[in-house]
Chain A
């Protein structure tokens, strides 16, 4: 807890929130990720806390998205990818031989860079995940609740039967978030969720993330350092070595990382000297 007390000294205003006990949801232990013979990420170890927002930042090719995708085993989709080390989710190793990746993804949802609603109605987009999960409750209520949580309900409540592809990009992305919420996951992974959106839509997504963190643990990859500093509680800064392998350079509470970076590389990156 040494780093926490340091943060308290630096940021007296944060004292209250820091007295809460943080619960670890995800724990990465010496994670190495490879694509065939290429090592994409080496030796990443850190923890992600419950109902906090954790941001992954770093230059292109630093492996931040790769680490994100390894958390819900979406990397399995990429031929030739393999991992060693451990990723513990509430203490269970996600890469144990006995683990079914399908069940992991029902607990750890994901929102992608480009909005990717199904070419179905808004209603069906939300209901899809619940349906395959065998949800037996009230679908109308589920759809409304999910859309409300994603701050989209007011805009679409009169056109739930309309094809989701007719929504604007920002609305589509909030629909994708609503769709993820509808499966009732614990963790939501977001891979640059606002990078394809205009500044206003981006702002709404950021507000939404702050709202969602009351109920969900959020991990967000972003290229936008302002965004990382606005929405996240913890930031992981990844760097890339001369063999193009990504590694975790620094991990800290966001305010500390941005105001008082411990490494020269971190300082250079957040001040815009490269990236």
Chain B
């Protein structure tokens, strides 16, 4: 090291720089370690489940009955219920969220934006347990008054799905607004200069140009809907049921995990291990969706470089 008294530009030791860098790195590393830890535990416990003589992988993936008490481990009823609530959620969340985003980014004045954005943020900040009660005490009675008491059961996937749709709405709206806002202003000007109206510009240039960013948003929202737990645990039903009617009670993957992990099933029983296998599957589904979503949004950014 050069002595600063000898060399006017001698290197100075800056210990606090080193310190802050390594601290920040340690925290970044911690999040990776936690993720890996979760994955390892899921895989290990799932291995215990699948190595049980009562369980076989093929039967698990294709079986139509989920009754761990009597050794029936077909997970299709749970998957079906999860997909039903998620599809209903997307059917509500995507169009409404998209229209809110289009309105916010293309049409709203600064004043209405200033009101609407905080409202969306409040909506995003409501705990999911509150949404769950909302589903049970508002959405379900509403559905029952519309479609009839005989048709709609007290617990049903429609109610849970619609409320998940409301839950993901602010997320879709905010992210879609970002995707639409990322479309270069020059494209809008080009469309206007060709005699485009506001609607033609928005729907025939801006939205198509934002499509990959929007698809990434939708996939992320779907992943959120699939993983949503509290709403389905409260409102969708507490028993596996392979049904295509959204008005019947049916337990989702997450709903089942909540029921078992909160109940008094003994450790190391097959029932108990099954929730790790289901957790692993959820993890794989959402992980894949997030990866695809990331990939799509990267493609989007390359397009305009």
- The interface of chain A, by Cβ under 8 A from chain B, is 72, 74, 77, 102-103, 105-106, 109-110, 112, 114, 116-120, 128-129, 132-133, 165, 176, 179-180, 183
Contact = CB atoms under 8 A, between A and B. Distances in A.
Contact of B195 (A103, A117, A118): A103
Chain B interface size, under 10 / 10 to 19 / 20 to 34 / 35 or more: 10 to 19
B189 A112 contact: yes
B300 to A, nearest CB: 10
Given A132-B195, A132-B204, A180-B193, 20 more contacts: A102-B195, A102-B196, A105-B194, A106-B195, A109-B193, A109-B194, A112-B193, A116-B184, A116-B187, A117-B190, A118-B187, A118-B190, A118-B209, A119-B208, A119-B303, A128-B191, A128-B194, A128-B205, A165-B304, A180-B194
Task: Identify whether the interface residues of B are mostly helix, strand, loop, or mixed.
Answer: helix
B52 interface: no
A64 to B, nearest CB: 17
B35 interface: no
B192 A77 contact: yes
Contacts, number: 65
Contact of A105 (B184, B186, B193): B193
Given A128-B204, A132-B204, A116 B189 contact: yes
A210 to B, nearest CB: 22
B189 A118 contact: no
A114 B304 CA distance: 13
B40 to A, nearest CB: 42
B209 to A, nearest CB: 5
B193 A132 contact: no
Interface in B152-208: 184, 186-187, 189-197, 200, 204-205, 208
Interface string B280-305: 00000000000000000000000110
B194 A129 contact: yes
A185 to B, nearest CB: 9
